[in-house]
C-alpha cells in the first residue's frame, strides 16, 4: 500500500508549547526523512489550525499532554477537512503512548490491503501479553536471585560474630530483634544489588541501539506499594521494639540493689545492703541486679556490650535512672561510658565481674573485713572508688591535678600569690570546697564540687590519712 507521506520533501507540522518536546520531535523527523523534510512548529490551537489550512502538511504531530492545544477543536477540524494527511498524538504522561489518525482516499484494492493490515494489527495485539509474560519471567528469575543472595548475606552476617557474647537475660530478646533486623538488612541489600546487576547485564544497551528507553512519568500502583510496605515494616518493628523493651524491664521480686555513680572519669559502685563501696562491680550470676544510676557532673552512659542494655546517667538528685540486669554467664567484662563526657572519656572503664552466689558472698566478706583495717588502707580504697586517682597520681606522675606524692607538708603558692602549707586543714578544704584555695598551675572548677555531699566525713578523713602516707 502506498505511503501517504511522500518520501522526499515531506511537510511536517509540530504542535506543542514545550520547546524541549518540539526540539526532540524535530530531531526525530529529520532522522526519519533527512534534512529535506520541511518542518513548521506551532504553540496554540488557532495557530495550528491556520497552518493546517494554509500549508496543507503531510504529517501533524501533536503534543497530547499540552493544554494550550485543544484536542477536541483540533480533531473536529481534522475530521471535517478533506486534505490528505496523517495526525499523530504523542503523550509523554501515558508512557509515550501514540494515537494515529490517517485520512486518505483509497481505491477498492487499497481498502482491501487496509483491511488486511488492520487484521494483522489486531492479531499483533497479543504482543503485550507476550511482553508481559517475558517481564514476569524476568521478575521471577530476579526474585529467585534475591532470595538466594538474601540467604547468603544473612548467613555471612550471622556467622561473623557482629555482636559480643550474650551474657544476660535481657540480651536474649534484644538479640532476637537483631536477628530479625539482620534478615531485613540482607533482603534490602539483595533486592537493590540484584535488580541493579540484573538490569545492567540483561537490559544493557546492545551495539547499534541508539533510541531512548520508554518514558513514564509516574506509576500510582508502584508508589502505593513502596509507601505501604515500608510503613508496615516500620510499624511492625516499632511493635516488636516495644515488646522487647517490656521484656528487658521485667522486675524480679528481690533484686540486688547497686547504686552506680559516674564522674569524670570514674565509676563507683555502692551496695547499700552491705555498706560496701567499690570501683569494681561484682554481680552474682542468675540474680537480677537493680542498678540505680546517677552522675556527679555531666551526662554519662552505662554500657556493658555483653549485657546489651544501656542507660544514661544524669546529674541531679531527682534524676536517678534505673536499669535491670540479670547476668547469665560468669566472667569478667567492662563497663564503658557510651556518652562523650570529656577528655578522658575513652578511658572511663571499670571491671564488671560476674561470679557465683558463693563467690559473691565471699567477696562481700572480704570487703567488709578490709573496711575494718587502718585508715590509710581505707583512704586508698575511698580514693579509688571516688575517682580521685583519675586526676591525682600517687607516684609523682603529672596529671590533671597535683600529684599526691610528697604533697603533705609542702608549701604551695595560690592563684592570688599567697602561700600556704599543705596540712590536714588545707586538704580538707581542697576536698569539700576546691575553689577556695586553688594552687598556681591548677584550674578552678575542674575538681567536682560535690564531694562534701557524696563522701562522708570519715571517708574524707581516711583519704587525708592516705595522702599523708605518700611521702
Confidence of residue 1 (pLDDT cuts 50, 70, 90): very low
Query: 294 near 267, Cβ under 8 Å?
Result: no
User: pLDDT tens for residues 173-185?
Assistant: 999 999 999 999 9
Q: Taking residues 354-374, report their average pLDDT.
A: 85
Number of continuous H segments (helices) and E segments (strands) in the chain: 12, 17
Q: Work out the widest C-alpha separation in the chain, in whole angstroms.
A: 127
Q: Which three cell numbers stand for residue 166?
A: 550474650
- CA 180 → CA 187, 219, 237, 288, 432, distances in Å? 11, 31, 9, 27, 52
Rounded to an integer, what distance in angstroms lies between the CA atom of residue 132 and that of residue 312? 56
pLDDT at 129 over 60: no
The three-class DSSP label of residue 327 is strand
Tally of CA atoms within 13 A in the half-sphere of 282 that contains its CB: 18
The three-class DSSP label of residue 6 is coil
The three-class DSSP label of residue 420 is strand
Cis? peptide before 265, omega within 30° of 0: yes
How large a percentage of the chain has pLDDT more than 90? Answer: 32
Q: Which three cell numbers stand for residue 17?
A: 508549547
3-state secondary structure 245-268: HHHHCCCCCCCEEEEEEEECCEEE
Q: For the chain, which domains are there?
A: 11-105 (3.40.50.2300), 130-248 (no CATH), 256-370 (2.60.40.420), 375-469 (1.10.760.10)
pLDDT at 2 over 50: no
| Residues written for the chain | 471
Question: Who wins on pLDDT, 441 or 199?
Answer: 199
Rounded to an integer, what distance in angstroms lies between the CA atom of residue 368 and that of residue 362? 10
Q: Taking residues 455-470, report their average pLDDT.
A: 79
Angle at 350 between CA 349 and CA 352, to 5 degrees: 130
Beta bridge partners of 323: 291
pLDDT computed for residue 372 by the predictor: 64
Task: Pick the range with the lowest mean pLDDT from 67-76, 129-138, 354-363, 420-429.
Answer: 129-138
List of long-range contacts for 91-98, beta carbons under 8 Å, 24+ apart: 91/64, 91/65, 92/21, 92/65, 92/215, 92/217, 93/65, 93/217, 93/218, 94/64, 95/214, 95/215, 95/216, 95/217, 96/214, 96/215, 96/216, 97/64
Amino acid at each position: 500500500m502506498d505511503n501517504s507521506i511522500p518520501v522526499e520533501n515531506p511537510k511536517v507540522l509540530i504542535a506543542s508549547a514545550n520547546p524541549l518536546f518540539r526540539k526532540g520531535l524535530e530531531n526525530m523527523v529529520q532522522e526519519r526523512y533527512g534534512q529535506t523534510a520541511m518542518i513548521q512548529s506551532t504553540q496554540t490551537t488557532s495557530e495550528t489550525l491556520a497552518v493546517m489550512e494554509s500549508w496543507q502538511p503531510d504529517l501533524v504531530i501533536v503534543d497530547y499532554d499540552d493544554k494550550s492545544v485543544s484536542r477536541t477543536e483540533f480533531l473536529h477540524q481534522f475530521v471535517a477537512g478533506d486534505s490528505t494527511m496523517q495526525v499523530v498524538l504523542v503523550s509523554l504522561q501515558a508512557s509515550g503512548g501514540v494515537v494515529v489518525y490517517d485520512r486518505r482516499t483509497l481505491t477498492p484494492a487499497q481498502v482491501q490491503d487496509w483491511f488486511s493490515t488492520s487484521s494483522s494489527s489486531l492479531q499483533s495485539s497479543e504482543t503485550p501479553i507476550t511482553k508481559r509474560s517475558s517481564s514476569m519471567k524476568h521478575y521471577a528469575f530476579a526474585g529467585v536471585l534475591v532470595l538466594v543472595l538474601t540467604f547468603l548475606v544473612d548467613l555471612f552476617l550471622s556467622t561473623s560474630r557482629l555482636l559480643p557474647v550474650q551474657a544476660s537475660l535481657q540480651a536474649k530478646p534484644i538479640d532476637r530483634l537483631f536477628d530479625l533486623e539482620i534478615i531485613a538488612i540482607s533482603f534490602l541489600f539483595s533486592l537493590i544489588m540484584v535488580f541493579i546487576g540484573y538490569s545492567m547485564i540483561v537490559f544493557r544497551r546492545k551495539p547499534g541501539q541508539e533510541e531512548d528507553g520508554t518514558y513514564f512519568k509516574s506509576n500510582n500502583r508502584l508508589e502505593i506499594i513502596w509507601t505501604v510496605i515500608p510503613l508496615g515494616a516500620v510499624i511492625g518493628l516499632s511493635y516488636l521494639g516495644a515488646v522487647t523493651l517490656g521484656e528487658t524491664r521485667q522486675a524480679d521480686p528481690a533484686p540486688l540493689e547497686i547504686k552506680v555513680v559516674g564522674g569524670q572519669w570514674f565509676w563507683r559502685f555502692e551496695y547499700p545492703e552491705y555498706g560496701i563501696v567499690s570501683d569494681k562491680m561484682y554481680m552474682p550470676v542468675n540474680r537480677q541486679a537493680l542498678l540505680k544510676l546517677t552522675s556527679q557532673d555531666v551526662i554519662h552512659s552505662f554500657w556493658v556490650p555483653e549485657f546489651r542494655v544501656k542507660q544514661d546517667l544524669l546529674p541531679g538528685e531527682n534524676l536517678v535512672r534505673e536499669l535491670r540486669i540479670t547476668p547469665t554467664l560468669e566472667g569478667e567484662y567492662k563497663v564503658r561510658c557510651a556518652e562523650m563526657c570529656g577528655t578522658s572519656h575513652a578511658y572511663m572503664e571499670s571491671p564488671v565481674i560476674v561470679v557465683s552466689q558463693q563467690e559473691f558472698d565471699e567477696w562481700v566478706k572480704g570487703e567488709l573485713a578490709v573496711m575494718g583495717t587502718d585508715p590509710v588502707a581505707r583512704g586508698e580504697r575511698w580514693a579509688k572508688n571516688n575517682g580521685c586517682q583519675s586526676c591525682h597520681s600517687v607516684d609523682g606522675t603529672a596529671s590533671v591535678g597535683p600529684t599526691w606524692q610528697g604533697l603533705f607538708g609542702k608549701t604551695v603558692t595560690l592563684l592570688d600569690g599567697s602561700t600556704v602549707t599543705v596540712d590536714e586543714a588545707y586538704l580538707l578544704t581542697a576536698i569539700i570546697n576546691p575553689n577556695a584555695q586553688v594552687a598556681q598551675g591548677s584550674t578552678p572548677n575542674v575538681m567536682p564540687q560535690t564531694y562534701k555531699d557524696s563522701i562522708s566525713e570519715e571517708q574524707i578523713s581516711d583519704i587525708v590519712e592516705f595522702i599523708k602516707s605518700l611521702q
